[in-house]
Structures are given as C-alpha cells and as structure tokens.
Amino acid sequence: MGRPRLCCFAPRVLEADEHISDSSSPDGRNVFDRDTIRKEDFPTESRSDALIHQKVLEAATKLVLGRSASVSQASPTAAAAKKMMPPLPRASSSRSRSMQDQILPSGDLGKKQEKSEDMLIQEKVLEAATALVMGRSTSVRQGSPISAVTAGGGGKKRMSPLPRTSSSRPRSITDQILLPENLMKQEPSVKDLETNHFVLVHGGGFGAWCWYKSIALLRDDGFKVNAVDLTGSGVHTFDTNNITSLAKYVEPLTSFIETIRDGDKVILVGHDFGGACISYAMEAFPSKVAKAVFVSASMPMNGQSTLNILSNQEGTNDLMRQSQIFQYANGKDHPPTAIDLDKSMLDDLLFNQTPSKDVALASVSMRPIPFAPILEKLSLSAPNYGSVRRFYIETMEDNAIPLSVQESMCSSNPPERVFQLKGSDHSPFFSKPQSLHKILVEIANLPANERAAAVHESETALS
C-alpha cells in the first residue's frame, strides 16, 4: 500500500518500538529526517485531536519548507489525515432524557461545539508552531489549559511532543530546501579537468605499495592512477647499494613519463625523498606535468640536495639520526652506499598516528634508501621546473620531517598553495587517507587559467 507523501518528505506511521529522530543537513542546518507521526498521535477518543495534528503538520511543513502548504481535500496531507481520522465519538450514556433537560437548538449546539474545537485547535497549533520556531520541543504538560482534551468521560489525553531540532535560529523562507538527491554523495566530474591522471611517487625506503589507499580512493572517483617503484624500491629488484646517482634512482619514473603522449599531462605527487624525484622530473618534462604535489616532502631549490635541506635546519628532531643505520657496501673507508632504518623505531619516527596493520605492512616491506641520490644537488631552472604549478601538503604531527622544516621549505621556495593535514604523521596515506584524498582532488580541480600567477611566483623564488 502506498504511503502519502508531502513534497520531498514522506509522513510515515511508526510502530510501537520505533522512535522519532532528527538529523542535520550537511550545511549545518537541522531538518526533519522524516515527518514521522505515530499511530497513537491520532486517538480514537476525539475528532479534534486529529484536526489538531492535521493543522500542526501543515504549520510545521510551512516552517520547514519555507513556503505555504495549503492542505486541500485533494492534497496528499489532507488525504492522509482524512484516512487516519476516526469517526466522531457517540455518547454512551444510558440515562433516559427527562422533561427538565434543557433542549438546545441544533444550530446553537453546532456553533458552540465548532467554536470550542476551533479555539482549542488554534491554541495547540500556536504552541506547536512556537516550539518549532524557538528550536525546542514543546511537551504538553498535564494541567496546562492547552494540554487537557476532554474526551467522553472527562479523562485527559496527553499530546505526543513534536520532533525537535537542535537549531536555535528561527527558520527563514530563504533557507535552501534540501532534496533527497542533494544528500547523496556527489561524485567529482573528471572529464573537464586539465588532467585526471595522477602519478604517485613514494619516499625513501617505501614503495608503490604505500599508496594502496590513495589509489583505491582516486580510482573510485574516476581518476587514472599510476604508482611507480623507484630503482631498488618496492618490488624493483635492483641492489640499492649500486645506485650511484639520482638519475638512476628515478629512472622508472622518467621512463614512465616518456611514454605519455605529447599534449597529455599528469599530476605528480611526491612523498618524502620523492619530492626531490618529482623535482627532477619537472625539470626534464615540464610540458607533461600539469601540477606537482609535495606531501611532507623535500622541495629543493636550484643547487640544493635533500641532505642540505634536512641537515641545515636548527631544532630538527634527533629521532631520524638515531634511527639511521648506514650500510658500507664498498667498505667503511668509503662513503656509505645506503641507509636503513631501525625497525624498532619506525612507530615513533614514521607511523606515530598510523593504524597498526599498516605499520605491520611497512615493517615487512620497507627497503634501504640509496645514499648517493640524497647527496646530489639538483639543477633546476625557471623555464622548466619553475613553469610547473607546485603545491605543498604539511603534516602536523610529523616526527621524520618536523613541521618547522616543512614551513621553512615553503617559506624559502613558496609553492602556489600550502595545505595542512591535522593529526597526520609522516605517512598521511596511512594515517589520514581520506583527508589526503580530498586535498588531492581539490588540487586536481583547480582550473588551468590560474597557471600564469603560479609561474610568476616560481620565477620570483628561483631568481
């Protein structure tokens, strides 16, 4: 059997074990989750109760929807009320009428009864409407003039309270009406973007595996995503100790970008030491990189190395130095060839806000970091590197690259915009994947016509 519907809200009769609930709209205003009415709200003892509820529903609809909802005989609300309206009560007295009983003319009796009911209805509607406007529920108390409804033998029936909201602001006719479809998840449209292709570049010791949450979220939203394993990382089988240059380390990334067709572009996302890697790619392929996102990453300027950035900062957390284990594949009389991290210190260094299952994944997947690429100074130019729009995402609870270091990099080499991830450790793809995802999507949706201002900022920083 179909249920009566009122605009975009459908009144529904609850069973005895259900309850009335409220909810808040996404923009902060409270709306009724459903205009729900209990069966017991329509007592069989009195016709006036049904009329009251009909008018209360009408008044509440006007307030919630911000427009008049005249209840006509043919309207769904009127039809619902009529259907649930009980017949008029009949007198059950067994006393026979006596000669002394006063006989009232039928017209006077009808007018008196109609006037009494109208006054009672108006009082209750006024009280209910006032409660809605003031943002609180009005409980009809026993003993108040409005609460007493004499039915049959003179007993009192208490009126069920209306659904309440938590808003203290009176509703306005200018308030937006939320339709059910507006409450559904809004999928981002990627067809009109400058590019919908993300290339994710991991940091030192990590691999493409660390992006698994971000990959799933981006693909669910219609983006194309690739995550690369840099040389000697992830499932790449090259020996880390034999990587002697940054060019060798980023070779899988540059090889992938070379396969991109002319005219197509990607968004590079680099984490940790991956920031230096995407900077190298920006210099080599400026026409194929639409935007570059540095996620708690090294963001070097021309002539800087990652080691310069991290070692020259005062107040840098000593936890990183304590966790480093140098490898000397060529003997201790030669420079280190790789750096490993003490597994017992990973929780505090990289994953202080990360779920334990992701810490377990990292502990069996991380590999040593090649040392030579960290020492290498980058050659970056304004026409190439400087022409790519840069964005930085700061991680607020980072123990590997402290916030002070991140802020210093952004100050000396300003990106177009800086985002902050509150509550994130050095690995936001584990600790704050949803928040990171939202920022990446926001960056992807930034229009291409803002590019000129970004180029000017980069040229100024590099000069």
Please give the positions annotated as active site. 272, 398, 426
Nearest of 121, 147, 13 to residue 59 by alpha carbon: 121
**Cα distance between residue 369 and residue 192, in whole Å:** 39
**Cα distance between residue 369 and residue 130, in whole Å:** 68
**Cα distance between residue 213 and residue 433, in whole Å:** 6
**Element of type H or E holding 289:** strand 289-295
Place of tokens 């000069």: 463
**Cα distance between residue 65 and residue 61, in whole Å:** 6
**Cα distance between residue 217 and residue 59, in whole Å:** 44
**Cα distance between residue 325 and residue 327, in whole Å:** 7
- Cα diameter, the chain: 129
The number of beta carbons lying within 10 Å of the beta carbon of residue 59 is 20
**Cα distance between residue 140 and residue 138, in whole Å:** 6
**Cα distance between residue 308 and residue 377, in whole Å:** 9
